Amino acid sequence: MNTLPLFESLKGAEVTRKKGVTVLGATGSIGMSALNVIAMHPSRYKIVALTGNTQVERLFDQCQRFMPEWAVMLDPDAAQQLRDRLRTVGLPIEVLSGTGGLNQVASLTQADIVVAAIVGAAGLLPTLMAVRAGKRVLLANKEPLVMSGRLFMQEAQRAGSELLPIDSEHNAIFQCSPGLYKVGFDRTGVRKILLTCSGGPFRNTPLAQLAGVTPDQACAHPNWVMGRKISVDSATLMNKGLELIEACWLFDATPEQIQIVIHPQSVIHSMVEYIDGSVLAQLSNPDMRTPIAHALAWPERIESGVNSLDLFAIGRLEFAPPDLVRFPCLQLAYEAARLGGTAPAVLNAANEIAVQAFLDRRITFLAIPEVIETTLSAASISQDMQLAAILTEDTRARETAIDCVARLERNHRSVGL
Ligand code: NAD
Ligand code: MG
């Protein structure tokens, strides 16, 4: 048993050096939850850099509160506005912009921990930079791992980067598993992973109504408050498909070793079954501050601000198999996982285009899987997992998906929709 070093480090927490933290995507849902936890532990953590896309006021407020050395706005105009705002209040924070700025702050020597909370493929390069710099990377941004799985894991291993999942399911699997990616599941008595899924807002919606659902209805998740892209992914169940691929890479598992379980209460965040028949589960209120706090302090435990779980109020936990007919995106993700190579990158790119088109009210909810299926079947899947090949396939898939969206839009207009 290894309890003594843990006890010693808890005792010594006040005197150890503060850990530097960079939050990529600080202005988003995960970024704000991470800052919320970090603010509870000023003696442990110090913010080194914060990044956002266009939300100047929010990043300005965060800069005033956390006093980072660097701030990055992807958008150059937004960066200039932030610079001006910070100058007026006399804060000496260096403001950078563009992907160069993101990549630069992802690998600063002052940061021990990088929270990867940008949404979508835009997070791939900065997250890889953090991994290559050997940081502890708290991974929320699942799309980079889906796109570049093997490369990403190899780079993490080579650089000695601790890749800790804060996607709630993967964090739960990590908490219930004998070890992370370094060990390999089948060598540690694991029979399978049970990846739980709430079923999203349309679990019981009559199929005939799905064609007419709006972006706001799709984003009204029953249990979680999240950014709009992942909310739509949760409504189509593509989120679970991306998470299946994410889990395969993180835990060295095959798609067949992962069973998706619909669990509408979102209290069990995933489970691990062992060959002796034991099933370990991690339970908590559906609040991302729990996995964030876990990964920030691991192997220690710190307060997250999340309330105790009230099992009597919850009363019952239900489980059901997923419905692949209702949710074709999940089926498409299984296919991409089985194809391997650049197929998950194509799946992800087409999904990003389709979801944005749905959020912009250009296509219907049911057209999302149509765009992805068309793009996947048009792609020539390569087993080359070099970064250049992945980025090329990502660009090609986006072009195909954009054409497909335009065609669907024209068809809809021509039938008067
Ligand atoms: P969000 O939309 O709330 O925030 C996204 C962040 O990324 C913002 O800070 C935004 O400014 C930034 N951003 C957007 N586009 C960018 C670009 N092109 N370049 C640089 N920065 C950009 O999203 P979120 O819900 O916080 O999700 C972030 C990631 O975490 C996603 O990959 C999501 O799948 C994953 N995740 C989220 C949750 C959740 O509860 N929200 C749970 C698990 C995993
Ligand atoms: Mg999740």
Residue-by-residue DSSP string for 289-305: HHHHHHHHHTTS----S
Protein residues within 5 Å, CB atom, of ion ligand 2: 167-169
Q: Among the atoms of ligand 1, which is closest to the Cα of residue 224?
A: 40
Residues 6+ apart with CB under 8 A from 155: 128, 131, 132, 161
Question: Quick one: pLDDT band at residue 40, thresholds 50, 70, 90?
Answer: very high
Report the percent of the chain where pLDDT is more than 90.
89
Cis, bond preceding 369 (omega within 30 deg of 0) = no
Euclidean distance between CA atoms 283 and 305, whole angstroms: 16
* Contact between residue 234 and residue 264 where contact means Cβ atoms under 8 Å apart: no
> Which of 230, 245, 285, 356 for mutating ligand 1's site (highest number of atoms within 8 Å of CB)?
230
Q: Under a CB-based contact definition with an 8 Å cutoff, are residues 53 and 74 in contact?
A: yes
CA distance 385 to 152: 10
**pTM, 2 dp:** 0.95
Q: Which residue has the tokens 């489980």?
A: 319
Q: What is the pLDDT of residue 184?
A: 64
What DSSP string describes 327-386? Answer: -HHHHHHHHHHHH-TTHHHHHHHHHHHHHHHHHTTSS-TTHHHHHHHHHHHHS------S
Residues framing ligand 1 (Cβ under 6 A) = 25-31, 52-53, 55, 74, 102, 117-119, 122, 140-143, 167, 224, 226-227, 229-230, 288
Which among 140, 129, 105, 122 has a CA at the least distance from the CA of 295?
140
- The more confident residue out of 3 and 341 is 341
C-alpha 228 to ligand 1 mean position (Å):
9
Packing angle, helices 142-159 and 343-359, rounded to 10: 140
CA-nearest residue for atom 22, ligand 1, is 53
Q: Cα–Cα distance between 133 and 110 in angstroms, integer? A: 11
DSSP-derived secondary structure for 16-51: SPPEEEEEETTTSHHHHHHHHHHHT-TTTEEEEEEE
Question: Which ligand 1 atom minimizes the distance to the CA of 242?
Answer: 34
Distance from Cα 159 to the centre of ligand 2, integer Å: 26
**Identity at 180, one-letter amino acid code:** L
Distance CA(223)–CA(218), nearest Å, equals 13
Q: Is 72 left (phi over 0), alpha (psi -120 to 50) or beta?
A: beta
Contacts for 105 with CB less than 8 Å, ≥ 6 apart = 22, 24, 48, 49, 51, 70, 72, 96, 111, 126
Residue tagged 């919850």 (tokens): 314
Least reliable range by pLDDT among 125-129, 187-191, 232-236, 375-379: 187-191
pLDDT at 312: 98
Mean pLDDT of the region 316-331: 97
Closest residue by CA, ligand 1 atom 25: 227
What's the CA-to-centroid distance between 391 and ligand 1, angstroms? 20
| DSSP type of residue 277 | S
The 10s digit of each residue's pLDDT in 189-244 is 899 999 999 999 999 999 999 999 999 999 998 888 899 999 999 999 999 999 99
**Which protein residue's CA is at the shortest distance from atom 43 of ligand 1?**
167
Q: Is 90 strand, coil or helix? A: coil
Q: Is it the case that residue 318 has pLDDT exceeding 70?
A: yes
- Per the DSSP assignment, residues forming a β-bridge with 21 are 47, 113
In sequence order, the 6+-apart residues with CB closer than 8 A to the CB of 189 are 178, 274, 275, 276
What's the pLDDT tens digit per position in 68-99? 999 999 999 999 999 999 999 999 999 999 99
| Residue 13, C-beta contacts closer than 8 angstroms, at least 6 positions apart | 43, 44, 300
